Structure 1
């Protein structure tokens, strides 16, 4: 048995036989051509681009029917890249200048694009390089007649686990959950389109394992643990028995949790709690409603930009926002304005590589520097709110100073007046909130609370900034924890400022979806939690088991702790007391 550790990107556990895919990459022998063959090679290039475009359109159509429009838009961007005249122009120029075959010209051009993205040194842009290599593969298959062997869609019929060097977004979108129980890859990250599609398919997935295919080729079976980011090759009987038992317990627990969806979200002593959903795409609204969400506490809007080859238009955005607002049927929808930065860059935009993107031009500060993009998004939000008449709130990310928030709010007022002057219906009365993700904003929260309509605490960024520990850097992973007393004290400070000002405060960072933290947050006076859809049932179960006074006592004790280890031990003991019948907690010794 061998245990491999990677990055969990889609939850769940899958057990089964293994298919190891052959390494990707074209098998090309460089081939020179005479001048007389240049015209023929250009015609080959044109035919291959057209065939690849048609194939990509078919993949987009399939994804649109099975996964929904937002996921299909990822593949639609591939279609546009293949059809981009500049790709044909550059490849044709190489055929003429270097006297090389069309496949080599295509390989060189797209390899250059991908390498430049990878050299920019951020996880997000490296993930976008995978999209470039996906279209490179499509075109080269047309030119060389060398399809992947075996391709995921052509895998044996028996349900199995896929292990691969990587899966392109189009390959992931083509997976049949009835035949592929889960997959794991050597490369990839949390922000890749492949990871996003895996979560949409609800297939357990682990990426970023490193070089493991050679030792996996001879394994007979495996376990993919998409909760913990583990792959177990040839598990022994004890491990298999443990995972199978956990699978039965998980299925039983999920069935029980599903019955909570229609029950009120309140503590055992009647304290009302608002449990909301975090979404990336409009299609996720259904999952939130099915799991009993009270609304959307965080609608991220970055993927409208990252999944396309240019900024989306005002009407395109307004339609997407309106679709979510209508689907919620009067429940609140909090739309976060763009949280783009050097680690999340739009296609088609010149990139400035910053030495420390987390401390650079990102989120609200970038929106204020790029008013046209910002105003277009605000116009779309105000139009969607007016068109639907829904409960819509606007939230600015990474607010650092009072002046910054005031400038953003003034822009919102200007945009509303501009729309009204144009005779376009727009809502000018939307509640406006600030995300508390920077220690400066938390420290100034008593003054900021006088000017905002609500707070939302983004604990992921707040934790990394408080502890000076990059949340994507494994070398400081031991420092990065929201259980650190300094983090808890700042959350308490923000919650008190909100309470004194009489405004709502929500936690929408990752700890909002972790049952271990639920009672602590309730005890700190936070009664609005926003989580990814799949985490809603577990958090609701803890809420309904908690008692307000016990939660407050837990928070008081946690605020006196001197280390994260003390806090975690305290929270684990409190969770076991609240859920004494949970077998998953019975053997937890707090380590």
Structure 2
């Protein structure tokens, strides 16, 4: 039995077998396989090599037709290496004799070959090291790609173990069978954390080398409350965690009984609880957990999940599906937030794939304003769908007034085009913006006169305020929603919205954490948009406190000068109200 500690990002306990997903751009860990799996691994290797050869032959033909035969000869060496049966036999022998995965056998064999070439006297031979490394990545891509295909069609429940999960990877997962997520990398608001919250499953990130310690088929326990992963637990530890999982299931059943009860404080103040979604299919789950609407519809996942760029009609039909699923409840559609860690190759110029600072680069509204056909197509689809029910449009990552005004001007142009074509739309559709960069928060009062509502996106607001990459596990301890500067910005945005008499909600992961609920209500927030599984426990806490009680919490927090003081105090206050929910969780967010 081995126990590893990471960063807990979604609570709960899961006990299942592991499915390990390697990354072709990371060192491959030595992973042992059973004797019965040796033949399967050799078949996987042979298929990956065959697919790689076919791929290279295609590249050679394409290069020959576009750049000439001479330049296409560069791929002849690649084909020759992969056609070398002595090399392939060497990889197969590594699998057979040491009983390791095909990925690891390819990795060590081709790394050894590259080292041999690098030490050669001939400069011409030394130059081929890059080609060998390219072949290694190509074969690994096919091997790991086959794993991802298998992951889409899991035969049974599993815990996914990966170096990291990108948004484009997570949209293809078989979410009904995934019971927990654990990764080497990532921070508290990495996409792994957001996905786990949305699925209501435990997750731990920042484990550094969990992929090296776990093999597919191992039994592991994921304790998302304390941030622990137990590999091959003994009987006593299994019994302990099964009892805890049973207790948590009973508590979840009690919370679900709050479904039809309003989110009203003890002194009668109503709090709006809406949900965050990525696909219309999630709406039923959100409503069954008590959501009164959708406060954040992340439309970029429609692009990430599609094999080609969605047409206007496809987007329109998807938005109508969401509107109809809500049966008259409000839907806030955020325009595309692509770029940074969410890249669609058909849309994103290749020059942007490797931006030095992608989260500070051409992403979100900036990408849309530089790609007007893309932006206008989405706006047309949203406006056409708006006649079907209450829809709001929300622009992300606005950092200055001119960006907002330009986006609004384009929206007006699209409205005029629709009107000229005799296509119906809702003329008075509310238009809002995300507050997720400090410049927007500091100018909130100015922005409040330009829009109908605000939504505070704390995931980005925190990382931009404290200068911490929210996906970097090495500095995860510095990323904190409890930072006094972050709380001050949130307070000022809420005040600005109140002064301008516009609605304001908070849609970041902070809103889903019960430790922050009392603080946010005390600061004046009356609308939350959160992950669907978190709705019942947030509602229970709201129904257990008064606004005066929350204001006292907010006043106390305003006197603290460190996030540790804030976190300890908030955990203590929430624990007094809901010890069964907050008591066992680790502090850190």
Shorter-chain TM-score bucket reads 0.7 to 0.9
Distance in structure 1 (CA, Å) of the matches to 2:369 and 2:143: 39
Match in the other structure for 1:312: 310
Alpha-carbon deviation of 1:350?
2.5
Alpha-carbon spacing, 1:90–1:277, altered in 2? closer, same or farther (3 Å): farther
Does the aligned pair in 1 maintain the 2:187–2:470 contact within 8 Å?
no
Alpha-carbon deviation of 1:368?
1.6
Match in the other structure for 2:45: 27
Alpha-carbon deviation of 1:419?
0.5
Alpha-carbon deviation of 1:303?
1.3
Which TM-score applies when normalising by structure 1? Answer: 0.73
Match in the other structure for 1:552: 551
Distance in structure 2 (CA, Å) of the matches to 1:222 and 1:335: 38
Match in the other structure for 1:262: 260
Residue 483 of structure 2 corresponds to residue 477 of structure 1: no
Residue 31 of structure 2 corresponds to residue 3 of structure 1: no
Alpha-carbon spacing, 1:507–1:102, altered in 2? closer, same or farther (3 Å): farther
Alpha-carbon deviation of 1:152?
6.9
Distance in structure 2 (CA, Å) of the matches to 1:262 and 1:471: 36
Does the aligned pair in 1 maintain the 2:171–2:304 contact within 8 Å?
no
Does the aligned pair in 1 maintain the 2:454–2:504 contact within 8 Å?
yes
Residue 562 of structure 2 corresponds to residue 563 of structure 1: yes
Distance in structure 1 (CA, Å) of the matches to 2:371 and 2:160: 43
Match in the other structure for 1:71: none
Superposition pairs for residues 429-508 of structure 1, below 5 Å? 429-508=428-507
Match in the other structure for 1:583: 580
Alpha-carbon deviation of 1:409?
1.1
Decide which of 76, 97, 119 is 1:98's aligned counterpart: 76
Distance in structure 2 (CA, Å) of the matches to 1:103 and 1:321: 50
Gaps of 5+ in 2: 21-30, 34-40, 84-102, 104-136
Distance in structure 1 (CA, Å) of the matches to 2:547 and 2:171: 48
Alpha-carbon spacing, 1:188–1:132, altered in 2? closer, same or farther (3 Å): farther
Alpha-carbon deviation of 1:298?
0.4
Distance in structure 2 (CA, Å) of the matches to 1:325 and 1:97: 51
Alpha-carbon spacing, 1:91–1:540, altered in 2? closer, same or farther (3 Å): farther
Higher relative contact order (CA 8 A, sep 6+): 2
Computed over aligned residues only, the root mean square deviation of the Cα atoms, in angstroms, reads 4.4
Alpha-carbon deviation of 1:454?
0.5
Alpha-carbon spacing, 1:403–1:436, altered in 2? closer, same or farther (3 Å): same
Secondary structure in structure 1 of the residue aligned to 2:276: strand
Match in the other structure for 1:323: 321
Does the aligned pair in 2 maintain the 1:520–1:552 contact within 8 Å?
yes
Alpha-carbon deviation of 1:225?
3.1
Does the aligned pair in 1 maintain the 2:187–2:476 contact within 8 Å?
no
Secondary structure in structure 2 of the residue aligned to 1:322: helix
The size of the alignment, in residue pairs, is 507
Does the aligned pair in 1 maintain the 2:398–2:437 contact within 8 Å?
yes
Does the aligned pair in 1 maintain the 2:186–2:470 contact within 8 Å?
no
Per-residue deviation, residues 437-470 of structure 1 (Å, max 9, x unmatched):
1111111111211121011101111111111222
Which TM-score applies when normalising by structure 2? Answer: 0.74
Per-residue deviation, residues 483-528 of structure 1 (Å, max 9, x unmatched):
1111111111111111111111000011110000001111111010
Does the aligned pair in 2 maintain the 1:169–1:194 contact within 8 Å?
no
Decide which of 136, 139, 143 is 2:142's aligned counterpart: 136
Superposition pairs for residues 393-432 of structure 1, below 5 Å? 393-432=392-431
Gaps of 5+ in 1: 32-40, 50-84, 106-110, 112-130, 142-147
Secondary structure in structure 2 of the residue aligned to 1:277: strand
Q: Which is further off, 476-485 or 88-97?
A: 88-97
Match in the other structure for 1:528: 527
